[in-house]
Structure 1
Amino acid sequence: MKFVLTSCADKAAAKTLAKKLVKAKFAACISVFKANSVYFWDGEIKDEKERVLLVKTAVKFKKVAKFIAKHHDYDLPEIVAFKADKASKKYKKWIKKESK
């Protein structure tokens, strides 16, 4: 089981991407959070409101990343992953069952 993190410009884009990921079985569950991101882009500092998606999945990272990149509205979307070191057995089993 792993978490994949990405961000979207707004609530609508985040919900659309989340639903596509779940429908395609690339994620069992996705939590969406409000965030404020500060970053350097095109020679200037940006300070933007975004939505962060925490994707819970058992699917290989390369497959999830490719799907996100294909369906994302950003030219260079943030797509990073980290492994869940600990989780309840039942929850891990459910994640594995629902994301293939």
Structure 2
Amino acid sequence: MKIILTTCKSKQSSEIALKLLEEKLAACVTTISGARSRFLWNGEIQVEEEKQLIIKTSDEMVDKALSRIIEIHPYDIPEVLVITPEQVSENYLNWINESVN
């Protein structure tokens, strides 16, 4: 199992989540509101209100999901991080794999 993290504006977060689920690239997408990102862009400090997406997928589908996120993400350089959980309950892992494979 892999967890992919990305941030984006409110409207786009729903679009990304739905596309990943419809295309069976993710089994679950959790959206957390109220994220505030501060970052350097073109030498200036920027502040954006965003939503954090926590995308759960299988080891086999992570590359396809990652490519699709980058393809549909509205940002020029989206934050897309892949995390491997240290432990996952067996039932949840089975459900993830069955959902996307």
Would the TM-score normalized by the shorter structure come out above 0.5? Answer: yes
Alpha carbons 2:61, 2:100 under 8 Å: kept: no
Alpha carbons 2:57, 2:96 under 8 Å: kept: yes
The equivalent of 1:18 in structure 2 is 17
> Percent of aligned pairs with the same residue?
34
Unaligned runs of 5+ in 1: none
SS for the counterpart of 1:25 is: coil
The equivalent of 1:45 in structure 2 is 45
The equivalent of 2:90 in structure 1 is 89
The equivalent of 1:36 in structure 2 is 36
Alpha carbons 2:28, 2:56 under 8 Å: kept: yes
Give the counterpart letter for 2:40 in structure 1.
F
SS for the counterpart of 1:3 is: strand
Counterpart Cα distance in 1 of 2:68 and 2:50: 20
Shift of 1:60: 3.8
Unaligned runs of 5+ in 2: none
**Stretches of 4+ aligned residues off by more than 2 angstroms:** 59-62
The equivalent of 2:57 in structure 1 is 57
The equivalent of 2:67 in structure 1 is 66
CA RMSD of aligned residues (A): 1.1
Aligned residue pair count:
99
Counterpart Cα distance in 2 of 1:71 and 1:13: 9
